[in-house]
Amino acid sequence: MLVPYEFARIALKHGTVATVSDPHEIANVLGVKGVEYMIENARDALLKFYFGAPSCVPATDFESTGAKINAEEVRKLLGRKDIHYLSEMMNYPGVLCGDPEVMAKIKAAREMKKPVDGHAPGLRDDDAEKYIRAGIHTDHECYSIEEALDKLKFGMKVIIREGSAAKNYDALHPLIKSHAKQLMFCSDDKHPDDLLEGHINQLVKRSLAHGYDLFDVLNIACKNPVEHYSLDVGLLREGDKADFILVDNIENFKVIATYINGQRVCDTEKCILKDKSHSIVNQFNIESFDVNVLKIRQELYNAPIIQALDGALITEKLMDKPLIVEGHFESDIEKDILKIAVLNRFKNTKAAVGFINNFGIKNGAIASTVAHDSHNIICVGSDDHFMQKAIDLLIKSKGGLSAVNSKKHIHLSLPIAGLMSYKTCEEMGELYSEIDQFVKSMGSDLRAPFMTLSFMALLVIPKIKMSDKGIFDAETFSFYR
Listed by start position, the domains of the chain span: 4-267, 291-479
Rounded CA separation 53/70 (Å) = 11
DSSP-assigned letters across all residues of 340-397: EEEE-SSS--PPEEEEEES---SS-EEEES--TTT--EEEEESSHHHHHHHHHHHHHH
Q: Which of 142-151, 292-301, 462-471 has the lowest mean pLDDT?
A: 292-301
- In this model, does residue 303 exceed pLDDT 90? no
- In this model, does residue 317 exceed pLDDT 80? yes
Tens-place pLDDT, residues 6-50: 999 999 999 999 999 999 999 999 999 999 999 999 999 999 999
- In this model, does residue 277 exceed pLDDT 90? yes
User: With 0-12 CB in 10 A as exposed, 13-18 as middle and 19+ as buried, what is 301?
Assistant: middle
Q: How many CB atoms lie within 10 A of CB 295?
A: 14
Q: How far is CA 262 from CA 82, 137, 221, in A?
A: 22, 32, 20
Predicted pLDDT of residue 453:
96
- In this model, does residue 481 exceed pLDDT 90? no
Average of per-residue pLDDT across 227-256:
95
Tens-place pLDDT, residues 88-120: 999 888 999 999 999 999 999 999 999 999 999
Predicted pLDDT of residue 166:
82
Query: Percentage of residues in the chain with pLDDT exceeding 90?
Result: 86
Rounded CA separation 425/431 (Å) = 10
Report the alpha-carbon angle 473-403-190, nearest 5.
Answer: 65
Long-range contacts of the stretch 384-392 (C-beta < 8 A, 24+): 384/291, 384/294, 384/295, 384/339, 385/291, 387/291, 387/294, 387/339, 387/341, 388/289, 388/291, 388/294, 389/365, 390/365, 390/366, 391/289, 391/341, 391/343, 391/367, 392/289
Predicted pLDDT of residue 153:
96
Tens-place pLDDT, residues 335-344: 999 999 999 9
Fold for domain 4-267? TIM Barrel (3.20.20)
Tens-place pLDDT, residues 160-198: 999 887 889 999 999 999 999 999 999 988 999 999 999
Predicted pLDDT of residue 182:
98
Q: How far is CA 333 from CA 175, 357, 378, in A?
A: 41, 10, 19
Predicted pLDDT of residue 96:
94
Predicted pLDDT of residue 301:
80
Positive or negative, the Cα torsion across 12, 433, 384, 299?
positive
Rounded CA separation 328/251 (Å) = 58
Tens-place pLDDT, residues 406-446: 999 999 999 999 999 999 999 999 999 999 999 999 999 99
Half-sphere exposure of 443 (CA within 13 A, CB side): 21
Given a contact cutoff of 8 angstroms between Cβ atoms, the answer to whether 435 and 321 are in contact is: no
- In this model, does residue 247 exceed pLDDT 90? yes
Q: Of 337, 362, 372, 364, nearest to 119 (Cα)?
A: 372
Average predicted confidence (pLDDT) for the chain: 95
H-helix or E-strand spanning residue 87: strand 83-89
pLDDT band at 476 (very low <50, low <70, confident <90, very high): confident
pLDDT band at 399 (very low <50, low <70, confident <90, very high): very high
Predicted pLDDT of residue 164:
82
pLDDT band at 298 (very low <50, low <70, confident <90, very high): confident
CA 216 to chain centre: 27
